[in-house]
Amino acid sequence: MQESGKNPQHIGIIMDGNGRWAKQRGLARKFGHREGAKAFQKIVEYCYDLGVPYLTFYAWSTENWARPKDEVDAVMNLLRDYLNRDLSKIRQQVRMRFIGDRGALPQDIQQKMAEIEEKTASFTRTTVNLAVNYGGRAEIAAAARRLAQQARDGALDPADIDEALISANIGTAGQPDPDIILRPSGEKRSSNFLLWQGAYAEMIYMDVLWPDFTPRHLDEALAEFSRRNRRFGGI
């Protein structure tokens, strides 16, 4: 890790490039996602060892449902396998949280998510948010709906709606905003990821495809972050 003061408290990662990785090898896209899930596991373990307090991974967006059914099923099955893993056999004691609208996910996955959130709630070293059926705009709209309802019920004065209250009503409530949003695969877009939280995140784009992403690439991103001069709108 970098010298203190430069250590990111929260890293967001867009796991992009699985499809291209598979295509380059003449394989079906689902094999790219399988390797992507392995890279996810490795990077979680590495960040746990480094002591990164918060990580958010973009696994499935609100727009990804438009993909062919076999690809949707493959990613849901990878997610299911991951959720069914025996936690007692995993060395890392990672707190898991799931952000996004889980109401549209298969029922068994929703149940497992709730169970894992409960089972890992006491772990404090590293929290991993897995964004599934997630969209930044949808998340902000949901917060607006909730606050509007409270105002209509007389429980909230609209004049009290400020940035802190929005932050407290989105998936990452209580967590620091991401210092870094990292996108491998060469694409340079935010793709509706952490729109609210990422207002001052350093965007780091890397040319590697996600299944090929290793701890060395994370080190490179951390080194790049330590060279950036963050001013938060000041001078």
Active-site residue numbers?
Answer: 16, 64
Min. distance of Cβ 155 from ligand FPP in angstroms?
A: 37
Min. distance of Cβ 95 from ligand FPP in angstroms?
A: 16
Min. distance of Cβ 18 from ligand FPP in angstroms?
A: 4
Pick between residue 212 and residue 224 the one whose CB is nearest to ligand FPP: 212
Min. distance of Cβ 106 from ligand FPP in angstroms?
A: 14
In the bound complex, which residue of the shown chain has the CB atom lying closest to ligand FPP?
Answer: 19
Query: 88 φ, ψ to 5°?
Result: -70, -15
Distance CA 126, CA 134 (A): 21
Contacts with ligand FPP by CB under 6 A lie at 15-20, 33, 36-37, 40, 59-60, 64, 75, 78-79, 82, 185
Strands (E), the chain: 10-14, 54-61, 94-99, 126-134, 180-183, 202-205
Q: Pick from 6, 15, 9, 33: which is nearest to 174 by CA? A: 9
Pick between residue 78 and residue 143 the one whose CB is nearest to ligand FPP: 78
Pick between residue 11 and residue 75 the one whose CB is nearest to ligand FPP: 75
Distance CA 177, CA 25 (A): 37
Pick between residue 96 and residue 143 the one whose CB is nearest to ligand FPP: 96
Given CA atoms 46, 98, 189, 40 in this order, what sign does their dihedral have?
A: positive
The two structure tokens encoding residue 102: 């889980």
Distance CA 13, CA 184 (A): 8
Helix/strand number for the chain, H first, E second: 7, 6
